[in-house]
Structure 1
Amino acid sequence: MSTTILLGPQRFTTTVGSTVRALELTGRIAMVNSGWEERESDDAELAGHLDGRGVNLRLHHRMLDVLAKDRHVAAAVLAFRDRMDELRAFYGIRLQAAIDAVQAVAHRTSLHAVGPVAEEAAMEAVRDVDRWYAEQLAELYRSTRALAASDENGTVGWHQGEIGAILDECEAVVIAGGNVRTLLWTLRFFDVTMSREQTVVAWSAGAMALTDKVVLFHDFTPQGVTAAEVHDTGLGRLPGLIALPHAKRRLQLDDHERMSVLARRFGEHRLLLLDDGAVVRFPDGATDLPPGARVIDRTGHVSVVGAA
């Protein structure tokens, strides 16, 4: 079994090069940076960090090629995008109302121990909204796959074959950040599969994509939904984990009440903070958080795994 490593954002503190070199890999390294969208080909700096052994899978470029050549698939993709946007809009309305109810109940004085019961019921209502969204999204994916099903010998199949051949030759995969929606869509579009024998290093949107639940969050947005939103399912390489890149910049970590709501809402998942300089290793196929990892606990405080 190989190692999975999640890093902090690479914009200001670059650690991918030193991390990969410490692994003492000798083979080629696949690069997934489709989250950069139109800048996907601007990969010289990333390739340099990999000592010239990186090969770009060019997933975004390949997806655009398919959409340009296959009108049937292009129509299905456009319909999926429009329906997902509408689904997210209704989800956002329901979610914000449910979160507001949790906060209102929490701040209501309770003289007869009704408050805690009411707050947990309000929290469960938030989880119900999350579950409703996840179920609707799963159904949307199922219907889109049926609509966009194409001949394996067509353009999609050709690209899948080439991607698979490249991955078979690579010892490791690095997954960069960028737009997590685009990154996930391109990975899913070509059914990109990384074997358990391959080492994977990922950061930002790439780290989020390796989990089983991708959550968008930003406590400092000037308008719109301010509650963290379930966005999609990830690849599931690290189940039971929610990755929170740029946590210091995007979360009110000193608002323990707010953080407690976030942690209790996703009680079956561990909320992993991935700030600048973070290096979190999961060796030999492990999925348990290693000592030193920083998480948000149910009290809303930041704690360190393994700390006394």
Structure 2
Amino acid sequence: MITFEAVRKQFPDGTVAVDGLDLELPTGRITVFVGPSGCGKTTSLRMINRMIEPTGGTVAIDGKDVRAQDPATLRRGIGYVIQHAGLFPHKTVLDNVLTVPKLVGRGRERNRALELLERVGLPAAFADRYPAQLSGGQQQRVGVARALAADPPVMLMDEPFSAVDPIVRAQLQEEFLRLQAELGKTIAIVTHDIDEAVVLGDRIAVFRQGGHLAQVGTPEELLTKPADEFVRNFVGRDRGYRGLSFQRSDDLLLHPFPAGRSLDGEGTFRDGDSLRVVVDLTLTSPTGTAVKVDADGRPLGFVHHRDVVDLLEQRR
């Protein structure tokens, strides 16, 4: 568990980047720091591994003040992923992944490094390549593998996927969530993108200008119960639509699917899919409908956009 208690950071020029921050990052969960530029989210992240020292208050990991620990030793136990991956250009992919294990005398863990590359979606054939031979998305995958190489309990990620195109970004997010489901790390992520925060975060900490915490809660809480006008505006006017991601579609009224009708060109959804999935399908359908199918792809019935509206009215 990572805790911030009355943490403050004031730089020599008088700028207060973080002011009175009280925050808890639960063990084994993803906490996303989000907010406008200059709100202190990156400064807060970097105080965890002492890349920036707090002016006051306490940052602790499992109850131990990070300032009581040797910075180098502390950082070796914390995975760190940054924008553009930050790989060593003169080292191969394998040597990049083995950076921290070599520092702690475990440089012969080649098999584990190869396993990590496969876990992040890169074949072993990439091990002997250099960063310049990789795409941006591939470099970010190597950066994640390097952060995991020492099997740290804590990972810090600073805008990890912002330097890649939207399609690759979505793939990396999906891969990362799959890894987290297996590994259960305590993770802090900085992003300026509220959509990314909603996708990745178990909890989201919204920072406002001046380094103040505006609200912390689950993605659903932020979308449905913003604390004030600042959070409401930051989350966006379409927060209601985003909130549909947290409502299941299982209670939708199904209309009989016509016998002999083909599913070609029909948008389909399954048990457990969110209302947002169904809304997207009905809005992009020429008929305003979506077809629910079973695990084998057989139609169970169809819904109309009006059925979604009726269900939302019932749940109000």
TM-score, scaled relative to structure 2 = 0.25
Larger C-alpha radius of gyration, 1 or 2?
A: 2
Higher strand share: 2
Structure with the higher helix share, 1 or 2: 1
Q: Which has the higher contact order (CA 8 A, sep 6+)?
A: 1
TM-score of the two chains, using structure 1 as the length reference: 0.25
